[in-house]
Amino acid sequence: MNRERFIRDRRNDWREFETLVSRMKNSRQSKWGSRDVATLSRLYRSICYDLSLVQSREWGARLEQYLNDLVAQGHNCLYRSPPQSVRAVWDFFAVGFPRLLRRRYKPFLLALALFLVPLIASVWVGYTRPDLAELIAGRETIEQALKSYENELYVEGDSRYSSERTRMFGHYINNNTSIAFQAFAMGVLVGIGTCYVLISNGIIIGILKGAILAKGNPTADNFFSFIISHGSFELTAIVIAGAGGLVLAQGILIPGQRTRGDSLKFHGVEALQLALGAGGMLFVAAMLEGYFSPLPIASSIKYVVGSMLWLLVAVYLTMSGRERITHEG
């Protein structure tokens, strides 16, 4: 068989295969007909043989490239990955994310220390040294925070509450995710940027808390009853994003037996997964901050719910995704 006869005999199958792949790749696999699948599989095998024949007989680079493209299209169509489902997302947040965080507990603990130690120290500064607090955070920032919580945000859940809280939900999403993204992305600066973001945010938040504590009730009660619910998800997520940034820095600074590029790729994947998990937690935090935290209900209810949410976050991150151990007697 010569090249021209080969092309003439096989051209119709190639065209049929192209048409079939074009139609099937644009539809869900669940909607494929059994006859189409059988035809596609048969043509795919025959074209694989055609390709090997062309290669062995050296019948031209253009023909070889054409058949190679057909084989690639058929392979991608037959063996393409199914679309990510809701189940896959659920598995990530219910199992994969908390497991990964526990495996990366050292960067998490370091990020927690970088955030928590400055925060605690700054609470003391804001409470006992207003002059120093103003020097660090600025008088205008502190006065604005105190003014914001002098009175309850709402006295009833009316239409004003609904319209304003929806707008603020979007604001919280944008603001919180930007801080978390900075904590994660700054890891490329060998971790220095991540450390700065965690420490600086810990200082500012701590000073404002201390100043509000010094102001006393009702300002302090309005503030702490507002933040206790969403704070569990929000603050923990920022620390986790910071841990992701430190994991990224580890890939650059400590490649181990890998090349630096391979190390960055390996650690970068897990760092990104930590950041994605933190993003999910920030979404929950924004929902709570937008719709539950400002509700005109008794502070005692918010403290109870907020405490339960802190416990929920702790149990979720430490227990979720653990394999069950069964004992056979």
How many C-beta atoms surround the C-beta of residue 174 within 10 A? 10
What pLDDT is recorded for position 244? 94
Backbone angles phi, psi at 209, to 5 degrees: -65, -45
What pLDDT is recorded for position 259? 83
**Taking the alpha carbons of 120, 124, 130, 133 in that order, is the dihedral positive or negative?**
negative
Find the distance separating the first CA and the last CA of the chain, reported in whole Å: 71
For the chain, counts of helices (H) and of strands (E)? 13, 0
CA distance 320 to 260: 33
CA distance 194 to 188: 9
CA distance 27 to 154: 51
What pLDDT is recorded for position 307? 96
Closest Cα to residue 211, out of 269, 130, 294, 288? Answer: 130
The backbone region for 191, taken as left when phi is positive above 0, alpha when psi lies in -120 to 50, beta otherwise, is: left
Predicted model pTM = 0.70
What pLDDT is recorded for position 329? 38
What pLDDT is recorded for position 166? 65
Predicted confidence pLDDT, tens digits, the chain (329 residues): 688 888 888 889 888 888 888 888 777 766 777 777 888 888 888 888 888 888 888 888 888 888 888 888 887 877 665 555 677 888 899 999 999 999 999 999 999 999 999 999 999 999 998 888 888 888 888 888 888 888 776 656 555 566 666 667 666 777 778 888 888 888 878 889 999 999 999 999 999 999 999 988 888 898 999 899 999 999 999 999 999 999 999 888 888 778 888 888 888 889 999 999 999 999 999 889 888 888 888 889 999 999 999 999 999 999 988 865 444 43
| Residue 48 burial by Cβ neighbours in a 10 Å radius (0-12, 13-18, 19+) | middle
What pLDDT is recorded for position 327? 44
What pLDDT is recorded for position 82? 53
Please tell me whether residue 129 adopts helix, strand or coil conformation. coil
